[in-house]
Amino acid sequence: MNDQQTRPTPEEIQHTIDQLRTQVDELEKLIGQIMVPIIPSIMPDTILVPFAGELTPELSKKVVTKVLDHVSMTGTQTAILDFTALSIKQTESLSVFGNSVEELSASLSLMGIEVITVGFTPQFAREVALSGLPFVNKLKSFSTFRAALQHLMKLRGMELTEDNGKN
């Protein structure tokens, strides 16, 4: 058997590498969208930004850019950042989290957008409080997304009504 017939040419190898790089880029974008989607809330002019998985510096930068771009193009008045599914496994992850939240909340506040955080578990809340991150005491936080929505509804003079099937 001839080696020339079974081995790909350098051009074919480069073409395959280029295709794989393109696929990796597309998958990274998809993962970024899945890890931190921007979800319109039932409350007018309010978005929910749920964080999931491990927050890396690269993802953090993409999240901040994505959220700021979104709110600049919409009439967003309130951004609810949900950390329920965020994973902080290493000490440096807490630093990345702190920098990310501080940058995002300060930027949003400068744009006149209210920032509310939800989803701090007791252990996570303690780690963040003990971390010495300077912005922690400035965060407006609620235990759940529902509690945050109820707060916003009260502020905006709205009331939650239940339909028990009676029309």
**Rounded CA separation 108/64 (Å):** 10
Token pair 């590498």 is found at 17
Summarize pLDDT for 99-147 with one digit per residue, the tens. Answer: 888 999 999 999 999 999 999 888 888 888 888 887 888 889 999 999 9
pTM for the whole structure: 0.75
**Rounded CA separation 55/131 (Å):** 16
Single out the residue of 24, 93, 106 nearest to residue 53, CA to CA. 93
Amino acid at 154: K
Higher pLDDT, 164 or 62: 62
Token pair 């239940």 is found at 162
Q: Work out the percent of the chain whose per-residue pLDDT is above 90.
A: 41
Q: Kindly tell me the burial class for residue 72, based on how many C-beta atoms sit within 10 Å of its own C-beta (0-12, 13-18, 19 or more).
A: exposed
Tokens linked to 7:
């081995």
* pLDDT score at 40: 92
**Rounded CA separation 127/66 (Å):** 27
